[in-house]
Structure 1
Amino acid sequence: MNDKKISKEAPENILKCWKLSGTAEQIYSTAWQVNDKYVLKRYEDLETLKKNAEMLTVLHEMGIPVAEIIPVPSGDPYACCDERYYMLSKKLPGNSETDIKHEGIAEKMGEILGRLHLAFRKCEERLELWDNSLLDEMNGWVAESLSREKWLDEETLRSAVGNLQDGYDMLPRQLIHRDVHFGNFLFDHGEFSGYIDFDLSQKNIRIFDICYFLTGLLSSQIGSGLDTEEWLRIVKDAAAGYERWIPLLPEEKKAIPYVMENIELLFAAYFNLPEQADFRNNALKMFYFVRGQEAQIHKMLEE
């Protein structure tokens, strides 16, 4: 039998490619936990898998806490089944159940992200990844979506993009994670234990990651967890933690609320199906919330 192919897609059968047996418990729509030791992940696109595998390999070699890939006996990092691809890795300790309101967690998250960005800098020369631009996306497919679907008045979009464009060329660019939330950052008994899921990693402005994380907290806590003052404190603490590893330029501190706003407008454009209306409305609500806090955010970052 070719150890990169198997006739059935059931996870227990896929594991035969690695000569493993046991129970596969589904933890996400495309991932299974195997024997509490491994994680099996399914990919539809081989190039995405290869990119993720390459990044995990480089980061692991650098001593960064990421999942270690288990190759099939032939040495390949994946197995193939019915035009789908599977990668097996060792399970990292810990989980993603972390409360941002606990003392020190926001600052710790900033530090964790700063350390990751430092590692990304060192491995950029070994990795070829998509070179993207938030500004280009806003002036491109996001503006086209608005023109087509009228989910926001065009003057508001022009204003938001104009704020982003002012000084955009001064914002440092590098490899970023692009999907920073607690689901992708693991903690074990309160201590950080590992980074996961680099599927969306790309080159972009580096403050995209911290802005994405902070606006994501608002979205997940809407109506229940964080009030405005708590969130602003978290913004300050996360930035302070990040700056323990990478100082933020004045241009970056000025741009942070504008990047947040444009990320939310990007999401509003992305959620374009009728059944996604609630997600679009939530993104727009977050956009207006951040817009109303621009002065406070700038004040917090300058203290």
Structure 2
Amino acid sequence: METSNSEKYVFYREKYYCLYEYVAGSVLEIKDTEILKELGSTIGVEIANLHQALNSVNNNNELVKRDLYKVVYGWALPILEKNEYVHQDVIRKMNQIHIDFKETVHSLRKQIIHRDMHLSNVIFKDNEFQGFIDFELLESNVRVFDLCYCCTSILSELYSDEVLRGKWQHIISTIFEGYNKQNILTREELQSIWYVMLSIQVIFITYFVQLKDLLKLNEEMFFWIFANKEAIEESIERIARK
């Protein structure tokens, strides 16, 4: 919302403040997997619509430009290598895929993304999409990051329940299918999903390196995603054949 001086922000005591219009509604109950299956396509469509809107802004010179490869191999892994609590297989497995990761991520399409695309920032009312909130982390990055972040955030809520976890791949396939209806994903993007999901887990492991329970959860998710490469890729690549 604009200020009385028609500005978008107020600068006060070395900080910027802004006011957003209230988005009426609530967040989805992630453990209600039947609702997620029903609304997954809608979530994907709306992320695609948001990406189209963000891409049209065309002022990403004012935003942080994030190089996902450098974030993982230049920032996160050096921190993890020095920490005694981190499972060393995380580092070993990322080193194992180092060259493939670099080649895969390098060619991906970049644009302005939301960067915090978990479902607590997606508002629904009576199962109708209302809007997105929390745009503080906007940055220029690979566009599939938002999709992968959304999917791994869902996994984090379902992971501890084996039955619910088993429904995750179907849920994410509907999200990707919805996105692809609005924004066609390239072959390179479809082939990158597993790598980008792993990168997100590495980032979270680094963030939570001092918090034992969250560190353990994100390490377990990392290993699970790593082990389920074929199943995840099959879930995603089905949309390319439709």
Q: 8 Å contact 1:160–1:261 — kept in the other structure? A: no
User: Counterpart in 2 of 1:41?
Assistant: none
Higher strand share: 1
One-letter identity of the residue aligned with 2:49: R
Q: What is the CA–CA distance in structure 2 between the aligned matches of 1:84 and 1:205, rounded to whole Å?
A: 28
User: Counterpart in 1 of 2:115?
Assistant: 178
Which whole-Å deviations, capped at 9, do the CAs of 1:179-234 have from their partners, x for residues lacking one? Answer: 00111111111111111111111111111111011011111223248634311101
Higher mean C-alpha deviation, range 147-156 or range 195-204 = 147-156
Q: 1:269 to 1:193 in 2, by over 3 A?
A: same
SS in 2 for 1:122: helix
Q: 1:138 to 1:126 in 2, by over 3 A?
A: closer
| Runs of 5+ consecutive residues of structure 1 not aligned to the other structure | 1-68
One-letter identity of the residue aligned with 1:279: L
Alignment of 1:89-168 (within 5 A): 89-98=20-29, 99-102=32-35, 103-125=37-59, 128-150=62-84, 151-153=86-88, 154-168=91-105
SS in 1 for 2:70: helix
One-letter identity of the residue aligned with 2:234: K
RMSD of aligned Cα (Å): 2.2
Structure 1 position 143, deviation (Å): 1.8
Q: What is the CA–CA distance in structure 2 between the aligned matches of 1:171 and 1:226, rounded to whole Å?
A: 34
Q: What is the CA–CA distance in structure 1 between the aligned matches of 2:166 and 2:55, rounded to whole Å?
A: 34
Q: What is the CA–CA distance in structure 1 between the aligned matches of 2:39 and 2:162, rounded to whole Å?
A: 15
Pick from 252, 257, 263 the counterpart of residue 194 of structure 2.
Answer: 257
Task: Answer with 1 or 2: which has the greater Rg.
Answer: 1
Higher mean C-alpha deviation, range 260-269 or range 86-95 = 86-95
Higher helix share: 2
TM-score (structure 2 length as normaliser): 0.87
SS in 2 for 1:90: coil
Q: What is the CA–CA distance in structure 2 between the aligned matches of 1:231 and 1:97, rounded to whole Å?
A: 15
Q: What is the CA–CA distance in structure 1 between the aligned matches of 2:237 and 2:19, rounded to whole Å?
A: 45
